[in-house]
Amino acid sequence: MVVFHQSSVRRPRRAFTLIELLVVIAIIAVLIALLLPAVQSAREAARRAQCTNNIKQLALGIMNYESSNTCFPMQSQNMSAQPGSNSSTPSWIPGILQFTEAVPQYNALNFNVDMISSHSYGGWANSTVGLMNIAILQCPSESRAGQGQYPFLALPGVFYGMSNYVGNYGGPGPISMMSGTIIPANNAYIGSAYNPLTLAAGPNIYGSVTWAPVRIASITDGTSNTGLVSERLLGIHSPYPGTVAALGMANLNRCSIHSPIGAAQGGGPVAALQMYQSCASASTFIRFCGSAEQWLSGFPEWLMWQSYNHFGTPNQINCTNTADPQDHAGSPLVGYYVTPLGSAPPGSNHPGGVNVGFADGSVHFIKSSVAPNTWWALGSRSLGEVVSSDQY
């Protein structure tokens, strides 16, 4: 009889072979490749939903402002304490904070002094709030969130809070200027030698342009077909990319170029379309990347801060207009900030388009491929265009 000791029995060893291990790794890699876009898509859907909610709150805040004051907030306006101050005009944003979740910030603002001037006590008086990046003004899809652009001159390295949300100035300017819902007050700016635009009584470089604060009754095209507030990508610190190609499509809306073809005031749809096509295909060098520099203060003739217009379609580059008398050769601002005749479209990091809040309080996602004439019609409040929802 043969007796085998337990210790001498050789059991088979259980383990993966090299081929099996490689197959498992390959399967895991394929699953990750399949699931990662879905995860990213879900994250972007959540960010877009939060952005939609921000715009919804801003649109409702504007509607509540109109209900309380019988007009929409103005893109920029003077205060009696500082008439005509070049850097004192509050934008449309401070006045509506009282109707949003940012009530504490509204209560901390001093509207009796200038908003941002560092050369007087006004800049310091509103610095606590003005330097904030308020949550409701930040799109979660913004890839440059928190990077300040406009400096608080009294403290080097400190910047004003920025906003991804901008009000509808109207346009295109060659067809009808200031035809939107968030436009300047008629006493917003009395002009100076540095900025000759006059938006008050007296000479006006744009001729007989007349306007008044916008009320609900002024929107004869229908509140459900008239833009109110949309998005804007934040600017880029200098030095700026040299050309449109170097800037890249993802950053297109952050900067401005000088339009190769201009369109004069009153040029109408044909001239506007020519400039639109010129801007869309331009490859000229970058002039400026100061988009959405700060939310606290506004200038009536500069649209890239807290305003957008319905000229270039969503996510196009900002274009200054060579036919604009405010953009003449030799001006220190030539080719920089977009003026009322220029093109300052909205933009976002949401794939394929932007969120737009309408004057009825609704929010719609407008594709970048929207037809120019449809986009233009959505920007005006009273030009009589007929737009159906299936056009956008």
Phi, psi of 226 (to 5 degrees): -130, 120
One-letter amino acid for residue 134 of the chain: I
Would you place residue 299 in the very low, low, confident or very high pLDDT band (cuts 50, 70, 90)?
Answer: confident
Contact criterion met (CB below 8 Å) for 62 and 56: no
Q: Annotate 150-174 with b (16+ C-beta within 10 A) or e (fewer).
A: bebeeeeeebbbbbbbbbbbbbbbb
The answer to whether residue 88 scores a pLDDT higher than 70 is no
Range name among 112-116, 224-228, 270-274 with the lowest pLDDT average: 112-116
Confidence at residue 323, expressed as pLDDT on a 0 to 100 scale = 86
Q: What integer pLDDT is reported at residue 304 of this predicted model?
A: 84
**pTM, to two decimals:** 0.84
Q: What is the pLDDT of residue 149?
A: 77
How far apart are the C-alpha atoms of 377 and 221, rounded to whole Å? 9
Looking at mean pLDDT, say which of 53-62, 78-87, 382-391 comes out highest.
53-62
Query: Is residue 360 scored above 90 in pLDDT?
Result: yes
255 in Cβ contact with 318 (< 8 Å): yes
Q: Please, what is the average pLDDT of the chain?
A: 82
